[in-house]
Structure 1
Amino acid sequence: MALTDTALKALKPTGRPTKHSDGGGLHVLVTPQGSKLWRLSYRFEGKQQTMALGAYPAVSLANARREREGVKALLAKGVNPAQHAKLERIAKQASNAVTFKVVAEEYLRKIAKEGKADATQSKKAWLLDLAMGDIGSRPIRDITAAEILVPLRRIEAKGNYETARRVRSTVGQIFRYAIATARTDNDPTFGLKGALTAPTVSHRAAVTDKKAFGGLLRAIWAYEGMPETRMALQLMVLLYPRPGELRQAQWSEIDFEKAIWTLPASRMKMRREHRKPLSQPALAILEELRSLTGHGKFLFPAVTLPMRTMSENTMNSALRRMGFTQQEATSHGFRASASSLLNESGKWSPDAIEAELAHMGADEVRKAYHRALYWEERVKMADWWAEETNIWRETTG
């Protein structure tokens, strides 16, 4: 006779274990201590076997019956239900072991092997750490969009909207890597794209008026602070690289005879080697700098730790001491100044200017071709730019 919830609740323990059948091998075993344990008996390959399904009422009558039907379906396929249950437990344990932190650390090791810049690796690790406390220990397969939104909202509450956006993007990279390596099937960050507050875009300050630019140049050439800082700013004017590219420059990259600075792919934003022509004024500054730091590895070593480079704040701090606010001038702004004034001159092709700035568009093959094609023009442009900046420095007061 089939069991009912009323009958199950009324079952009382006796001095020995008693069985109460629901049919089809499903029964409840009532222990002398009063526990009501679901058991399912079945035959597989001629042998009688019994599975434990849990205790009543934690496992309801309806759930126990569903388990029975599942076992019947497995038997019909020739699958041993006990072995199937064991494999499911192992898979669950393995899934629980694959946490977000485990996959994230593996991803960081991967990009390190691929030669990503140290700064890129550190930035990604920092961004991931902002979410690690909330989702790091969770099985990556089980993490939901709502869980990821918790650290993102906390970051937004501090007004760091751009950081929140970057954390979402970087966490998404981990999920997509987990999908590619068969650890999960879904990227829950995709659904969060419209949930975050869009940051206000603020362009880096740059001087693009010739007269104002001349005033900035006079202040730099007259700077009385550390000579290495003055020379770093002078080279930013003449060469307009990304500030990090200059700060991390090494003497082995400078060819004085050929007047070329070769930046390795590992330090370039687009992961491609980049060559810059050196004008005579730039070479003169480098010669002066070599007398100060040429005995070491870096052009601009840290004052107290020669094996490290100049701080990223050094040049901007010098500009502040000269009286230029953050809204007026930044070290990165020299790139925009050069781009604007070079294009305004009308003397140089836009592609040559873009090649000198190491910008890469969608058609990377075309851009790589242009880098070679416009080398001669870029050499002339470097000399012209050095002459023009000198004229603006001396005549636009």
Structure 2
Amino acid sequence: MALTDTEIRKLKAIGKDYQKADAKGLVLVIRAAGGKFWRGELRLNGKKFRYGYGNYPEMTLDNARKIHAVARQLVEFGKHPATLLDHPQAKRMVIDGCGIKELEIQAIAHQKAEAIQAMMTFGEAAGKYKAEWVDKKWKAPDKGWAPVRLHLLPKLADTPLELIDVALLRELIYDLREHKGVVTALSCHGWANRIFGYAVEHDYCTHNPAVLIKAARVGNRTKRTRWLSTPEIRRYLTGLYQADCYRGYKLALHLLLMLTLRKSELCGAAWCEIDFDKGEMLIPAARMKTKKDHLVMLPAQAAEMLQELQRLGGGSPWVLPMPTNPNRAMHSNNLDGAHNAALAAGEIADYNIHDHRHTASTHLREQGHSPEVVETALSHAIPGMAGTYSHAQYKNQRLEMLQSWANFLDTVMTERTVIQATFRKAL
């Protein structure tokens, strides 16, 4: 006999589980503690099994009958009710009048959603790649990782690897090319290729869309050829020393131009690397791009400026300490503000700090200095057979050349041929 709501409400606990049948295999189980829940007693492929529908009164009698009816239909089709009724919202859909077809569509969508959720995302793969390779192999991993952090992760971090296809990645790379330039786009393309290659190798995904995007179609890297003419050098240095910023930044930028150094080679320098008596600065291999020790010859002006930096440092072991923490070396990015101020004051466009090396190299060659001496001062490999068999350091020639270059810079600044030692301090 079918149950009624009135009868169900009157059912009481008796100290052990028991059940009351409704119809067609639907039963209400009354727990020993008093709780009540619905379940269906069904048969699939000749075997009996039970399938729960929910607790009473949250699951009403009418709703339990609707769900049980769908469960019986599924059994008739040879399917276990759990295949369609176990996913979220399935029972609510049945209560709202949906049939098996709608449940199947919802189940497929739910399975896809679960599969996507189980997939590794681009951000997770990138994190693993960085931890296993970049952090261990790169000298400055955070700096090298910047294209991923700034451009790839904001767009792709939460996207599963399998859902990133060629079209999606190409659209992102081309958008970067348009708004950030070819160099940034190519860098991001290269990083995407490495990360996807790592993911495929470790079975995190099955494809690498970056391989199908040709770097040549993204664009070609153009070597920078920007250098300062003599009038531009005058405007740059004058604007630099007139800028409202920490004097140590000004001296550092001047030294980079005078000694033809890279930012990291000077910003990480310690006083133990400088011998004022010999007029030399030895940069260890760990801080050199070439991974070889590099000896820098110091002209008189450079020694004077370094001694001033030593006074400004107040006993710090670093040539360029952080202004707020003398126990730490200055980060090379700290120089960007002073450099930009000098560019603005001198009305100079498209010129970065590394271009100081282009400026020095160009002027030194025009002044007649030997290419081998210039390249050695820049810590470049000398091309050809001469570079293969020659291991000359050109110490005397480099000192003479850099002293001449320092004199030239002073002449440009003062617009006179007489160097005034107090000029830099007066500005």
Seq. identity, % = 22
Matched, 1:177 2:198: yes
SS of 1:275 mapped into structure 2:
strand
Q: Do the aligned residues in 2 keep the contact of 1:134 with 1:150 (CA within 8 Å)? A: no
**1:312-327 maps to which residues of 2 (within 5 A)?**
312-320=335-343, 323-327=345-349
What SS class does the counterpart of residue 276 from structure 1 fall into?
strand
Counterpart CA distance in 1 for 2:389 and 2:325 is: 40
CA distance in 2, matches of 1:97, 1:32: 31
Shift in Å at residue 205 of structure 1? 4.6
Alignment of structure 1 residues 205-244 onto 2, 5 Å: 205-209=226-230, 212-214=232-234, 216-217=236-237, 226-244=246-264
1:293 counterpart residue number: 313
Query: What corresponds to 1:250 in structure 2?
Result: 270
Distance 1:271 1:232 in 2: 23
Residues 275, 37 of structure 1: CA spacing in aligned structure 2 closer, same or farther, 3 A cutoff? farther
Secondary structure of 2:282's match? strand
Give, in whole Å, the separation in 1 of the partners of 2:178 and 2:383.
36
* Alignment partner, residue 35 of structure 1: 74
- Describe the shift of the 1:222–1:143 C-alpha distance in structure 2 as closer, same or farther (beyond 3 A): closer
Residues 355 and 170 of structure 1: is their aligned pair in 2 closer, same or farther, counting only changes over 3 Å?
Answer: farther
Cα 1:196/1:129, change in 2 over 3 Å: farther
The residue number in structure 2 matching 1:347 is: 369
Return closer, same or farther for 1:285/1:312 CA change in 2, 3 Å cut-off.
closer
Is there any run of 5+ residues in structure 2 with no aligned partner, and where? Answer: 1-23, 26-41, 47-68, 85-99, 105-113, 418-427
Tell me the CA shift for residue 116 of structure 1. Answer: 1.5
Give the whole-Å Cα distance in 1 for the aligned partners of 2:171 and 2:300: 55
Cα pair 2:236 2:343 within 8 Å, conserved: no
1:235 is displaced (CA, Å) by 0.9
Q: Deviations over 1:17-51 (max 9, x none)?
A: 3659xxxxxxxxx99621159989xxxxxxxxxx9
Structure 1 residue 113: deviation in Å? 2.1
Within 5 A, what are the aligned runs for 1:328-367?
A: 330-348=352-370, 350-360=371-381
Residue 276 (1) aligns with residue 302 (2): no
Q: Counterpart in 1 of 2:134?
A: 111
Inter-CA distance 338–129: structure 2 relative to 1 (3 Å threshold)? closer
Q: CA RMSD in A?
A: 4.6
- For the 8 Å contact 2:43–2:75, the answer to whether it is kept is no
Q: Are residues 320 and 194 of structure 1, via their aligned partners in 2, closer, same or farther at CA, if it must alter by over 3 Å?
A: closer
Q: TM-score, normalised by structure 1?
A: 0.64
TM (normalized to structure 2)?
0.60
**Residue 113 of structure 1 aligns to which amino acid in structure 2?**
K
Q: Larger Rg: 1 or 2?
A: 2
CA contact (8 A) 1:240 1:338 kept: yes
Instruction: Sort the Cα spacing of 1:338 and 1:152 in 2 relative to 1 into closer, same or farther, 3 A.
Output: same
Tell me if the contact between 1:128 and 1:171 (Cα under 8 Å) persists in the aligned partners: no
Q: 1:182 to 1:378 in 2, by over 3 A?
A: farther
> Matched residues in 1 for 2:118 and 2:71: separation?
36
Deviation at 1:339, TM superposition (A): 0.6
The CA deviation at 1:188 is 1.6
Q: Is the 8 A contact 2:269 2:319 kept in 1?
A: yes
CA shift for structure 1 position 371: 6.2
Secondary structure at the counterpart of residue 34 of structure 1: helix
Alignment of structure 1 residues 56-71 onto 2, 5 Å? none
Shift of the alpha carbon at 1:319? 0.9
Higher RCO by CA contacts (8 Å cutoff, separation 6 or greater): 1
Which residue does the alignment assign to 2:43?
17
The whole-number CA distance in structure 1 between the counterparts of 2:319 and 2:285 is 18
CA contact (8 A) 2:45 2:78 kept: no
Residues 99 and 139 of structure 1 are in contact (CA less than 8 Å); yes or no, is this contact kept in structure 2?
A: yes
Query: 1:121 pairs with 102, 125, 142, which one?
Result: 142
- For residues 355-397 of structure 1, the C-alpha deviation after alignment (integer angstroms, 9 at most, x for no partner) is 322335898x986875654445333322332334344445569
Q: Residues 219 and 31 from structure 1, CA distance in 2 versus in 1: closer, same or farther, beyond 3 angstroms?
A: closer
Paired with 1:180 and 1:271, the residues of 2 have a C-alpha distance of 30
1:165–1:196 Cα contact (<8 Å) kept: no
1:102 aligns with 2:124: yes
Taking the aligned partners of 1:194 and 1:345, their CA distance within structure 2 comes to 39
* Runs of 5+ unmatched residues, structure 1: 1-13, 21-29, 41-50, 61-91
